[in-house]
Structure 1
Amino acid sequence: MSPKEVIKRWVVLFNNGNADEIAELYHSDAVNHQVANEPVIGKKAIKEMFSQEFSTANMICIPEHIFEDGDWAILEWKDPLGLRGCGFFRVMDGKIKFQRGYWDKLSFLKMHNLPIPMV
């Protein structure tokens, strides 16, 4: 699959809340770094991250644009509550090797009535 095709599949699995299947889109040593959080390294840890996130909030990704350039895909997205963000995915051999996402964590926590950590 091309990077753009991988991201289209990723969106479907994300919206289904399927941590097992979405994890299969990643290399065994992939890195998922949502910049509001610490990087998550390895397919197993990424699966656990998605399992936790899917059990915490009902998240929906509505793609606005998906761009492809070489082995990179860029996903610009929104959700039904008004949150917006973007993700950068490096896809190698049909699997995600690296992902970086940008979104407003404070807005996400407030929208889903989740506790706001005090630091």
Structure 2
Amino acid sequence: MSPSGVVREWVRRFNAADVEGLAALYAEDCVNHQVVTEPLYGREAIASLFRREFARATMVCEVEQILEDGEWAVMEWRDPLGLRGCGFFRVRDGRIVFQRGYFDQLSFFRQQGLPVPEHYLG
């Protein structure tokens, strides 16, 4: 599957809150770095993140565009509440080996009605 095809499948599984299906798209030794947190290493760490996040928030990814270049796919996205972001996915042999995401986590907390950690407030 092409990098953009993997990302489209990632969106489908994300919107279904399919944690195991999402985890299966990642290589065993992958890295996921959402820049608002420390990087996660390995498929199980990423699955744990998805379990936790889907349990506490309603998340929907609406694709604005996906661009592909070699092993990379870049997705610009939004959600129905107005949050926007982008993700960079490096794909090898049909598996995500590296992902980096950019979004405003403070807005995410507020939109989802989640408590804002003290360190965000200064």
TM-score tier, shorter chain, comes to over 0.9
1:71 counterpart residue number = 71
- Tell me which stretches of 4 or more aligned residues in structure 1 moved more than 4 Å: none
In 2: Cα distance, 1:54 partner to 1:30 partner: 20
- Per the TM alignment, residue 90 of structure 1 is displaced from its structure 2 partner at its CA by 0.2
- Secondary structure of 1:87's partner? strand
- Per the TM alignment, residue 93 of structure 1 is displaced from its structure 2 partner at its CA by 0.6
- Alignment of 1:84 with 2:84, yes or no, is yes
- Per the TM alignment, residue 92 of structure 1 is displaced from its structure 2 partner at its CA by 0.5
AA matched with 1:47? A
2:31 counterpart residue number = 31
Deviation digits for residues 46-80 of structure 1 (CA, Å, limit 9, x no counterpart) = 11110111111000000000000000000000000
In 1: Cα distance, 2:41 partner to 2:50 partner: 13
Aligned residues: 119
In 2: Cα distance, 1:14 partner to 1:97 partner: 17
- Per the TM alignment, residue 24 of structure 1 is displaced from its structure 2 partner at its CA by 0.1
- Alignment of 1:59 with 2:59, yes or no, is yes
AA matched with 1:32? N
In 1: Cα distance, 2:41 partner to 2:56 partner: 21
In 2: Cα distance, 1:91 partner to 1:9 partner: 13
AA matched with 2:50? F
Question: Which consecutive residues of structure 2, in runs of 5 or more, have no partner in the other structure?
Answer: none
AA matched with 1:2? S
In 1: Cα distance, 2:97 partner to 2:64 partner: 23
1:105 counterpart residue number = 105
- Secondary structure of 1:64's partner? strand
1:48 counterpart residue number = 48
AA matched with 1:58? T
1:15-30 matches, cutoff 5 A: 15-30=15-30
In 2: Cα distance, 1:77 partner to 1:36 partner: 17
Deviation digits for residues 95-115 of structure 1 (CA, Å, limit 9, x no counterpart) = 000000000000000000101
In 2: Cα distance, 1:26 partner to 1:56 partner: 22
1:11 counterpart residue number = 11
